[in-house]
Amino acid sequence: MPVEVFDSLDKIKSRFPDSSFLETNPRRVKALDDYFSRRGIVQLDTTIKRGKWPALHYPHAEKLTAQIVDLTQKHRDHTSKKWHWQMTHLKASSKETLAHAQKVTDPLYWKHLAKSVVDGQYRSDAKTIDLHSSLLADKKYRPMIDAFVNNEDYRKQLTETVKTSIVYKDHQGLAKHANDKKKLQMDVSKALVEKTHVQVVDARNQLFSLKELLKWSTENKNDKEKPNDGK
């Protein structure tokens, strides 16, 4: 039987003057269009009955099955990564709300608040380093804040260092630094959510195409295995 190679729907339509068979299975046409867009090729039997799809000789079922198995795993991996970055973005965006909820039960917060009300020097020092109560829930800053609240010598030294050291000449405060860190984390995670979303959709589209081609491939096999009824 004559077999020819095709790499586009246009070439199929050109080779088969009666290409009405394409209208009988829009899912397969969509799958072929996607498959060809990825530089895929097919080998088709060019001797067909009117209105019938030509037999698919390549890619064969074994190759398609192997590709589907591999791509299914990639789809799972991309989906898992997308979920991870979605959670990272959500955690960063809700960090301030969570910190506010946590601080009302935090003794260190109430001690800081009380000192800010009754101790003018403490209030001034806290303003100098831009100490916000929202930072209490941040593991990175909590030890330093604990020392600032409870150790007067540490508080004075930290405040003096921020005021006079060249290293801190352009210092814009702990809260500003924390906000910059939060924004960076949100920007990076958002970009990675978008990137992995594209990968998930692409893998899903490829799986659709390959599964449709696999159905087509097995149709050929089933047709060959049908018993001859003698007609």
Residues 127 and 51 in one domain: no
Residue 45 lies in a domain: yes
Q: How many domains does the chain have?
A: 2
Domain of residue 136, residue span: 87-190
pLDDT tens digits for range 197-212: 999 999 999 999 999 9
Q: Examine the domain organization and report whether 100 and 151 are in the same domain.
A: yes
pLDDT digits (tens, 9 = 90+) for 119-150: 989 889 888 877 776 677 777 778 888 888 88
Q: Does residue 131 lie within any of the structural domains?
A: yes
Let me know if residue 175 belongs to a domain.
yes
Q: Supply φ then ψ for residue 165, to 5 degrees.
A: -70, 140
User: Does residue 178 sit in the same domain as residue 100?
Assistant: yes
Q: pLDDT tens across 153-183, in order?
A: 888 888 887 777 655 555 555 666 666 666 7
Q: Are 119 and 46 within one domain?
A: no
Give yes or no: residues 121 and 52 share one domain. no
48 Cβ contact partners less than 8 Å away, ≥ 6 residues apart: 16, 21, 54, 55
What is the predicted pLDDT for the residue at 62? 94
Does a structural domain hold residue 195?
no
Q: How far apart are the C-alpha atoms of 91 and 56, rounded to whole Å?
A: 50
Q: What is the largest CA-CA distance in the chain?
A: 105
Instruction: Kindly state whether residue 180 falls inside one of the protein's structural domains.
Output: yes
Q: Look at residue 77 and tell me if it is in a domain.
A: no
More confident residue, 113 or 9: 9
Could you tell me where the beta strands, DSSP code E, fall in the chain? Answer: 3-6, 42-45, 56-58
Query: Which is it for strands 56-58 and 42-45: parallel, antiparallel or unpaired?
Result: antiparallel
141 shares its domain with 102: yes
Report if residue 70 sits inside a domain. no
17-31, 67-81, 204-218: the lowest-pLDDT one: 17-31
In a domain, 43, yes or no: yes
pLDDT-based confidence at 188, cuts 50/70/90? Answer: confident
Give me the mean pLDDT over the 87-115 stretch: 78
**Amino acid 163: pLDDT:** 76
**85: nearest Cα among 206, 208, 199:** 199
Are 152 and 99 contained in the same domain?
yes
Taking the C-alpha atoms of residue 191 and residue 107, their distance in angstroms, rounded to an integer, is 38
The predicted structure's pLDDT at residue 99: 65
Q: What percent of the chain has pLDDT over 70?
A: 81
Least reliable range by pLDDT among 51-55, 86-90, 92-96: 92-96
Residue 186 and residue 91 share a domain: yes
Question: Among the residues of 51-151, which ranges form H helices?
Answer: 61-93, 95-103, 107-118, 120-128, 142-150
Q: Are residues 13 and 97 in the same domain?
A: no
Domain boundary among 40, 58, 76: 58
Domain co-membership, 148 together with 91: yes
DSSP 50: T
Using the predicted structure, report yes or no on whether residue 222 has a pLDDT greater than 80: no
Q: Quickly state the pLDDT bin for 81 (edges 50, 70, 90).
A: very high
pLDDT given for residue 230 in this prediction: 45
Q: Which residue has the higher pLDDT, 185 or 4?
A: 4
Letter for the amino acid at 203? A
